[in-house]
């Protein structure tokens, strides 16, 4: 199998995953800002741009804050939102930090691995990406995002 084509396909997948996860992270941050400041004002802007949307608050931190707020815990669909957020975060981290296994991969099944801790692998294919896209659409809809 052509290693170049597999690498190019993985680059496209990585780009899509990281880009869409970044959008979800941004919208989650905005949702947190709206919880603390339902109306826009100077304090809300400062909180969003200087705290929530800063490099000091990671995607994991934002999810953890969301998970810790009783208002969100009581909301309809909380368990599904929490599950989707963690799935998006996990796949985003895999794409950012795991490596391509060129020997096992083909254009239908891309194998990725990590040597950090215990050796682990994951297979990324069209079905994984379809499921991922559904989670992205679900979260953006739940957080009131529209293009």
The pLDDT value recorded for residue 147 is 63
- Does a structural domain hold residue 115? no
- Does a structural domain hold residue 55? yes
- Does a structural domain hold residue 17? yes
The structural domain count of the chain equals 1
For 81-140, the pLDDT digits (tens) are: 999 999 999 999 999 999 999 999 999 999 999 988 889 999 999 999 999 999 999 999
Tally of CA atoms within 13 A in the half-sphere of 115 that contains its CB: 3
- Does a structural domain hold residue 26? yes
Give the contacts of 41 (CB within 8 A, at least 6 positions apart): none
The answer to whether the predicted template modeling score (pTM) of the entire model surpasses 0.75 is yes
The pLDDT value recorded for residue 131 is 97
Domain containing 56 equals 3-97+126-142
Tokens of 30: 């905005």
- Does a structural domain hold residue 93? yes
The pLDDT value recorded for residue 98 is 95
pLDDT band of residue 75 (cuts 50, 70, 90) is very high
Is residue 39 pLDDT above 80, yes or no? Answer: yes
The pLDDT value recorded for residue 133 is 97
The pLDDT value recorded for residue 117 is 84
């Amino acid at each position: 199998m052509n290693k170049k084509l597999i690498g190019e396909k993985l680059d496209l997948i990585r780009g899509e995953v990281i880009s869409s996860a970044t959008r979800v992270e941004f919208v989650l941050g905005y949702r947190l800002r709206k919880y603390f400041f339902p109306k826009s004002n100077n304090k809300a802007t400062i909180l969003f741009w200087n705290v929530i949307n800063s490099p000091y608050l990671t995607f994991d931190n934002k999810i953890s804050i969301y998970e810790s707020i009783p208002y969100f815990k009581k909301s309809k669909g909380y368990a599904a939102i929490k599950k989707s957020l963690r799935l998006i975060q996990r796949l985003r981290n895999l794409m950012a930090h795991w490596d391509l296994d060129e020997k096992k991969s083909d254009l239908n099944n891309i194998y990725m691995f990590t040597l950090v801790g215990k050796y682990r692998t994951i297979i990324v294919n069209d079905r994984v990406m379809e499921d991922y896209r559904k989670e992205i659409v679900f979260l953006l809809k739940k957080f009131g995002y529209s293009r």
